[in-house]
Amino acid sequence: MKTPVELQDTISAYVERNKDRLIEITRELIRRPSENSPPDGNETVCQNWIAEQLKACGWEPDLYELADVEGLQQHPLYRPGRNYQGRHNLAARRKGSGNGHSLLLSGHIDTVPRGTQDWTREAFSARMEGNRLYGRGSNDMKAGVATNLFVLEAIAALGLELSGDLLFESVIDEEFGGCNGTLAGRMRGYNASAAILSEPSALRICPAQRGGRTVHIAFRSKSGGILQDGGFCSSAIPQLTWFLSCVESFASKRTTEVRTHEMYAGHTDPVPVLITKVFTAPWGFNEPITLPVAAHVEMYWQLMPGETQDEVDAEFTEWLRAMVEAAPSIFPAMPDVQWPIRWMPGSAISPSEPVVQELAACARTILGTEPTIAGIEGPCDLFVFQQTFGIPATIWGTRGGNIHAADEYVEIDSLVAAAKTLLLFVVEWCGAVRV
């Protein structure tokens, strides 16, 4: 049996020797598009490749469709309207040899679409430049799934036997407020005494997530064209202009009235309010010059752990109604409001939880500095573990940039550091029986 110090050295040396394999796993995942475009998605090619890698290191993968999960569609958290035919979750379990803690390594394999933005590197080429590896999903979160898979390969290669059960999953449909893939994993029985979500956390330990609320607002005028009876036609632009001028008042109200959770005390804007899309009419000379009869806005704002859906939705509805009533000459009627993405609550566990503290100790050993423990900036599936199934879960993952944008990238040195830390944590948490 090796001493803890010897084991740490063994783990660090193994990752250094095999970091090319870690990078190659990430590149292989990037090269296989797994875009989520609700209600559809194309994750299974990627899942099949991961399943083959699991088999190669002695694991028995469970590749299953969500329709095969008993009771899933009846669960209160399940959201209908997605097409899961031909899309598969992937999971595997390695039984421990003793009474150690069990651990689940969880990640989502779906990505947002490539989009219509201009990429300067091909989105699925997995191009490397210096310390950066580019591609759609490179940081969110194929690097995380790759890290989890690499850890399983490392345990096999090092001849480690763990005392506690170790579980792996790669789920579909996390993007666009999916959550059904993660929910299916829990209901399939892939649960443990703690979970690590390998979302990109920039080498921070994140036991909290902000919630998110998205609304689509449509403003409409009564007529179109450009000129009518010697004057300009009515337009949706005055409504849009008034709305945009009032958004700051909604943001200020939330900043003033919402209690900041301890995990977000260091954030300059704990509850940001953002306009993410504005559309009035197609662009270019193939379209006539005309005043738009409709304007569509996507508005997105983030929430603190503890805020309820009833409170958040009522706050927005009351603000919107007051905004419209303050300008009756502009608004012939209330704008149309749609909620396109499910309610995503904020969620948190205490930073004193053992999974957080023990992960922090491992990160401290590997990084040589005190790791930051803070809430992650956006919503994800963390709340499913913490709130719905009572599983202490935290986020640990890579650093990169341009998430959901063109030229998304992950920083390679952070990929290596994340893998070293996670491998050490798995051994410490589950308990290494033999080396």
Averaged confidence pLDDT in the chain = 94
Quote the CA–CA distance of 210 and 264 in Å, as a whole number.
9
Sequence-ordered list of residues with C-beta below 8 angstroms from that of 3, at least 6 positions apart, any chain: none
| Residue 217, φ and ψ in degrees, nearest 5 | -120, 130
Assign 232 a pLDDT band (cuts: 50, 70, 90).
very low
Q: What is the DSSP letter of 66?
A: G
pLDDT higher than threshold 80 for residue 37: yes
Distances (CA, A) of 68 to 172, 180, 217: 14, 13, 37
pLDDT higher than threshold 90 for residue 148: yes
Quote the CA–CA distance of 113 and 416 in Å, as a whole number.
26
- The pair of structure tokens assigned to 299 is 């508005």
Locus of tokens 């490179």? 138
Assign 224 a pLDDT band (cuts: 50, 70, 90).
low
Mean pLDDT of the 129-156 span: 98
Q: What is the DSSP letter of 226?
A: S
Sequence-ordered list of residues with C-beta below 8 angstroms from that of 395, at least 6 positions apart, any chain: 196, 197, 198, 199, 201, 205, 206, 207, 209, 376, 380, 382
Distances (CA, A) of 2 to 5, 166, 233, 434: 8, 21, 81, 8
- The pair of structure tokens assigned to 41 is 């998605």
Q: Where are the beta strands (DSSP E) in 68-210?
A: 88-94, 103-108, 128-129, 132-134, 161-162, 166-171, 195-197, 205-206, 208-209
Angle of helix 143-157 versus helix 4-17 axis, rounded to 10: 120
pLDDT at 288: 83
What does the pLDDT look like over 70-128, one tens digit per residue?
999 999 999 999 999 999 999 999 999 988 899 999 999 999 999 999 999 999 999 99
Mean pLDDT of the 258-262 span: 97
Distances (CA, A) of 215 to 183, 208, 274, 331, 402: 24, 23, 11, 19, 23
Mean pLDDT of the 236-240 span: 93
